[in-house]
Amino acid sequence: MGIEIRGINKNFGDFVALEDINLSIPSGQLTALLGPSGGGKSTLLRIIAGLETSDSGTIEIEGNDTTNVPAQKRNVGFVFQHYAAFKHMTVAKNVAFGLEIRKKPKDEVKRRVDELLRLVHLEQFSHRLPAQLSGGQRQRMALARALAIEPSVLLLDEPFGALDAKVRKELRNWLRRLHDEVHVTTVFVTHDQEEALEVSDSLVVINDGRIEQIGSPDDLYDRPASDFVLSFLGPVTRLGDHLIRPHDIDITRYEHAATARGRITRWTRVGFEIRLEVTPDDVLHPDPIQVVVTRSEAVALQLHEGDLVWLRPRAGVEELSR
Amino acid sequence: MTLDLNSPTGAARKRRPRSATSLTRSSGLGLGIALTWFSLLVLIPLSLVVIQSIDGGWETFRQTLTNPQTAAALRLTVTQALIVTAINVVMGTLIAWVLVRDDFPGKRLLEVVIDIPFALPTIVAGLVLLSLYGPDSPLGVNVANTERSVFLALLFVTLPFVVRTVQPVLMELDKDVEEAARSLGASRFTTVRRIILPSLAPAITAGAALSFARGISEYGSLVLLSGNLPLKTEVASVRILTYIENGNEAAAASVATILLLVALAAIVLLQVLSKWVARRG
Amino acid sequence: MDDSPTKDTVNLKLSPEPTKRLGKGLRRGPGEGGVRPSRGAGTYFRRLLVITYLFLLIIWPVSLVVQKTFDGGLGNLQTALSDPVVTGALQLTVIVALWAVAINTIFGVGISLLLVRYDFPGRGVLSALIDLPLSVSPVVVGLALLLAYGGTNGTFGPALESAGLQVAFATPGIIMATAFVSLPLVIREIVPVLQEIGTEQEQAARSLGAGPAQTFRRITLPSIKWALIYGVVLSLARALGEFGAVKIVSGNVALQTQTATLVVEQKYQDFEQGSAYATSFLLALIAVAALVVVTFLRPKDDTDGD
């Protein structure tokens, strides 16, 4: 069940937006479509919502073929990056919109709106206009509006993209908790790998109109199927012949069976983390290697800028690829 | 969870930094010169019109307005301006819609056509309409010297107002909002009625106010077209002119004051509307 | 998603006008086709209705005037242009229009800057009153100026005349009437642009050492350039075509205070319709030509400030 996507193709002129997409999104889960801008993930989301039509392929939502069903009949909740608030309506009216379209009785609409506004913590703002809300509040209103119609799936297109870093983090946690409460099949599009890893049950990495990999956050982070997925999900550096995450490098000031040797040529402290750049003296691999250690590790190892150090992958870490 | 529940408008307000500063010496001087010119050109002369109309006492005012010819002129002016404004609301919005949402060869030409009534001298506008709807009309429609000529002239000169106020708003209208309405189950018609039209309403009203104000004050385009027949096709502006020509400035000022008041009302309406829009953001 | 490399092809197939999308909307190029999945009969109906309406109300009548002007070849234009009444009036009109536009441009830019960039008591009232001339009947404008500057019983008229300046029934009065009716046009065009661009760039220029005059010339003026040009063209069109106010203030004396629009009226009523059409054509030509040039030259996205 959930969402079944089969053989979706979409071109804009000669630009291939999506190429033979096959994907099944399980019911009740929170799935992230992750990828760089322009990779096709928003187009896929819009095709699921019916806001865009695919050139070929089929979409099934909860077992019903919706390929040719217009957007307004799909019962899909959609949340936009820029909120798409109905500016001339109060918060309560915004949330009630979908219910009024469905001609629900007045008292039911009111009950449902109150319930949803409580859910998104906007109950005291019900009579405000969207212009009087902050960005984060507007997005929560948009979410309540989308949930009001009891959608079979909830789709979010870069929902936190327009918010500043702090609010984005808060809303992200909050979305996760909300989903644990509401359990609606949810798909959200993001280009922020941290957001995707933190919030989702499963991840779909999309690049250049194709699916690169599908899996749980752990799967993708630890067992990326391609260099693209590896480097997209977090920082990587090249140690010897392999790509590796900078915090998976073991660093010492004593000679041992090391993959590389060099001097610490840069030292940047970011909070509890210290980011080092080691310039190897190996003529075959002269590119600087990025290493991340915690502050306490650096103190314990008595590291200083200019020190000669030896590097190797930490025990238990598979070298990811070439 | 530490959401910013209690700083509701903070974010929205902070985004609009106050760009205006208080006056400096040189800008104060500039303001003084500008205000003097504006007063000499606009404010004082217009005030004199109002003073002149009050000067003759309430009696002159009353007599002028109850003069059957003047009353008929005012009635005709206001009625025709209202009808024309109503048509402009519909057609202007529709034209703006087509200009923004449709695309076809020659669309840019239409953009210029919309501005022609603005650009054309009013006397020429009258002549232009006369050529198609006058005595030797190729269509066989002759409205010259009838009430319909007033209607036609006003329709011509007021055409751009609603189009030009609605068009930019329609362009800025976020497509997301329409998509959101659709995903919530609204049909195309419902989306237009409940989402698009309410967003356009202030602009439409503003355009309507401008179009009405222009309509009641029109003169030039009617000169050749309407024949200025008393009790039939004579409009308020023509009445004022006749009073001036007869040397009855007090009566002219009385009718002019009525027109000024209506114009002022239109401006106040505009101002209120733009405030309302600004508040809505 | 963020940029569509083939916008034009997309355009034809999917969406009527993505190029018009502004601001936030730009982030998604091809995606928007979904709003209007296909062009229904409604689109064509609306298009047809609008074109028919504009054709009947504007295009056809205007082209008839052009046609009538050239009915006998260039005869009408030649007759008109060899008539001293017409040429004198055209000359006067051009002089008056240039004066009025120059005054309105300087006044308009100044007052716009003051209204947008400075805070002073009465700013709101002033910005509302600025629009007043657009809604005042030209006949009322004429009456008002006559009451203020009339030679015998105007408030300031007699004093000015004894000082040697005749306003009413002379060129200064015509210029004032013309300036009055076209006063808000420049302001209405540049105020929104000034508001849109904000003060950041100007502050940046000041911080880089530019003086107020340099900042205005090198930063502010280029950003309002097209709005200003458009406003000037509108003012010019309005100034060339003013009729009612000028008719009252000028006294309408041929070869002295008769402007081109007054000649049109007179010629038409004197059954010299050829000359009337020819003069109308010349007036319309200048106005419409200026408008066409600006509409096609003006960068499409310039109004959005960036």
* pLDDT of the residue at A146: 92
Judged by a CB distance cut-off of 8 A, whether residue C94 touches chain B is no
Contact C5 A15 (CB under 8 A): yes
* pLDDT of the residue at B280: 63
CA distance B17 to chain A (A): 16
Residue-wise over B31-40: b if at least 16 C-beta within 10 A, else e? Answer: beebeebbee
Antiparallel, parallel or unpaired: β A289-294 and A249-252: unpaired
* pLDDT of the residue at B19: 52
User: What's the rounded mean pLDDT across residues C124-131?
Assistant: 84
**CA–CA separation, B81 and B214 (whole Å):** 8
Cβ-contact C181, C189 below 8 angstroms:
no
Give chain A positions within 8 Å (CB) of C27. Answer: 81
Cβ-contact C205, C219 below 8 angstroms:
yes
Q: Which residue from C1, C3, C33 is facing A42, i.e. has the nearest CB? A: C1
Contact B180 A145 (CB under 8 A): yes
CA–chain centroid gap for A97, Å, is 28
**CA–CA separation, A288 and A269 (whole Å):** 17
* pLDDT of the residue at C299: 67
**CA–CA separation, A190 and B123 (whole Å):** 61
The secondary element (H helix, E strand) that includes residue B141 is none
Cβ-contact C159, C204 below 8 angstroms:
no
Neighbouring C-beta atoms of residue B272, cutoff 10 Å: 12
Judged by a CB distance cut-off of 8 A, whether residue C46 touches chain B is yes
State yes or no: pLDDT of C7 exceeds 60. Answer: no
Q: pLDDT, tens digit, for every residue of A76-110?
A: 999 998 889 888 889 999 999 999 988 999 999 99
Q: Which residue from B8, B179, B199 is facing A132, i.e. has the nearest CB? A: B8
Q: Which residue from A12, A37, A52 is facing C6, i.e. has the nearest CB? A: A12
CA distance C234 to chain B (A): 7
State yes or no: pLDDT of C19 exceeds 80. Answer: no
Judged by a CB distance cut-off of 8 A, whether residue C271 touches chain B is no
Cβ-contact C283, C261 below 8 angstroms:
yes
Determine the residue of chain A that is closest to B187 in CA distance.
A72
Determine the residue of chain A that is closest to C10 in CA distance.
A13
Which of C 133-192 lie inside 8 A of B, CB atoms? 133-149, 153, 155, 176, 179-180, 183
Give chain C positions within 8 Å (CB) of A41. Answer: 1
* pLDDT of the residue at C21: 31
**CA–CA separation, B272 and A87 (whole Å):** 18
Touching chains, C (3+ CB pairs < 8 A): A, B
> How would you class C241 by CB atoms within 10 Å of its CB: exposed for 0-12, middle for 13-18, buried for 19 or more?
buried
Q: pLDDT, tens digit, for every residue of A53-81?
A: 899 999 999 889 999 888 888 899 999 98
**CA–CA separation, A308 and A312 (whole Å):** 14
Contact B113 C54 (CB under 8 A): yes
State yes or no: pLDDT of C147 exceeds 80. Answer: yes
Neighbouring C-beta atoms of residue B231, cutoff 10 Å: 11
Q: How many residues comprise chain B?
A: 281
Can you give chain C as a three-state secondary structure string?
CCCCCCHHHHHHHCCCCHHHCCHHHHHCCHHHHHHCCCCCHHHHHHHHHHHHHHHHHHHHHHHHHHHHHCCCCCHHHHHHHCCHHHHHHHHHHHHHHHHHHHHHHHHHHHHHHHHHHEECCCHHHHHHHCCHHHHCCHHHHHHHHHHHHCCCCCCCHHHHHHCCCCCCCCHHHHHHHHHHHHHHHHHHHHHHHHHHHCCHHHHHHHHCCCCHHHHHHHHHHHHHHHHHHHHHHHHHHHHHHCCHHHHHHHCCCCCCCCCHHHHHHHHHHCCCHHHHHHHHHHHHHHHHHHHHHHHHHCCCCHHHCC
Share of chain C above pLDDT 70, in %: 85
User: Which of B18, B19, B55, B118 has the most C C-beta neighbours within 10 Å, making it the best mutation to test the interface with C?
Assistant: B19
Per-residue pLDDT of chain B (281 residues; tens, 9 = 90+): 333 333 333 333 333 444 567 777 778 888 899 899 999 999 999 998 888 888 767 787 888 888 899 999 989 998 999 999 999 999 999 999 999 988 888 888 888 889 888 888 888 888 889 888 988 888 888 888 888 999 999 999 999 999 988 998 888 888 889 999 998 988 888 888 888 888 888 888 888 888 988 898 899 888 888 888 888 888 999 999 988 888 888 888 888 988 888 777 877 877 787 777 666 65
How high is the mean pLDDT of chain C?
A: 78
Q: Which residue from B98, B174, B256 is facing C50, i.e. has the nearest CB? A: B98
* pLDDT of the residue at A319: 56
* pLDDT of the residue at C39: 61
Can you give chain A as a three-state secondary structure string?
CCEEEEEEEEEECCEEEEEEEEEEECCCCEEEEECCCCCCHHHHHHHHHCCCCCCEEEEEECCEECCCCCHHHCCEEEECCCCCCCCCCCHHHHHHHHHHHCCCCHHHHHHHHHHHHHHCCCHHHCCCCHHHCCHHHHHHHHHHHHHHCCCCEEEEECCCCCCCHHHHHHHHHHHHHHHHHHCCEEEEEECCHHHHHHHCCEEEEEECCEEEEEECHHHHHHCCCCHHHHHHHCCCEEECCEEECHHHEEEECCCCCCCEEEEEEEEEEECCEEEEEEEECCCCCCCCEEEEEEHHHHHHHCCCCCCEEEEEECCCCCCCEC
| Residue B149 tokens, joined | 């000529």
Torsions phi, psi of A159, nearest 5? -65, -25
Residues 6+ apart with CB under 8 A from A269: A275, A295
Judged by a CB distance cut-off of 8 A, whether residue A51 touches chain B is yes
Measuring CA to CA, which residue among A303, A300, A251, A248 is closest to residue A280?
A: A251
Q: pLDDT, tens digit, for every residue of C253-274?
A: 777 888 888 988 888 888 888 8
Q: Which residue from B179, B181, B280 is facing A88, i.e. has the nearest CB? A: B280
Determine the residue of chain C that is closest to A209 in CA distance.
C1
* pLDDT of the residue at C167: 82
Contact C9 A14 (CB under 8 A): yes
**CA–CA separation, B217 and B263 (whole Å):** 9
State yes or no: pLDDT of C60 exceeds 50. Answer: yes
Give chain B positions within 8 Å (CB) of C288. Answer: 112, 116, 119-120
Contact B244 C136 (CB under 8 A): no
Contact C31 A42 (CB under 8 A): yes
Bridge partners of residue A205, in order along the sequence:
A34, A213
Measuring CA to CA, which residue among A206, A212, A168, A169 is closest to residue A45?
A: A206
Residue B2, sorted as left (phi over 0), alpha (psi -120 to 50) or beta, turns out to be: beta
Share of chain C above pLDDT 90, in %: 19
| Residue A74 tokens, joined | 């799909």
- Which comes out higher in pLDDT, residue C173 or B266? C173
**CA–CA separation, A36 and A205 (whole Å):** 9
Q: pLDDT-based confidence at A31, cuts 50/70/90?
A: very high
Give chain A positions within 8 Å (CB) of B187. Answer: 72
Cβ-contact B255, C133 below 8 angstroms:
no
Judged by a CB distance cut-off of 8 A, whether residue A173 touches chain B is yes
User: Which of A134, A158, A173 has the most B C-beta neighbours within 10 Å, making it the best mutation to test the interface with B?
Assistant: A134
Q: Which residue from C1, C3, C9 is facing A43, i.e. has the nearest CB? A: C1
Bridge partners of residue A270, in order along the sequence:
A273
CA distance A136 to chain B (A): 8
Give chain B positions within 8 Å (CB) of C235. Answer: none
Q: What is the pTM of this model?
A: 0.78
Give chain C positions within 8 Å (CB) of B115. Answer: 291, 295
Contacts 24+ apart (CB under 8 A), B4-8: B4/A134, B4/A136, B4/A137, B4/A167, B5/A121, B5/A137, B7/A134, B8/A125, B8/A128, B8/A132, B8/A133, B8/A134, B8/A137
CA distance B230 to chain C (A): 17
Contact A12 C30 (CB under 8 A): yes
State yes or no: pLDDT of A165 exceeds 60. Answer: yes
Judged by a CB distance cut-off of 8 A, whether residue C111 touches chain B is yes
Q: How many residues comprise chain A?
A: 322
State yes or no: pLDDT of C25 exceeds 50. Answer: no
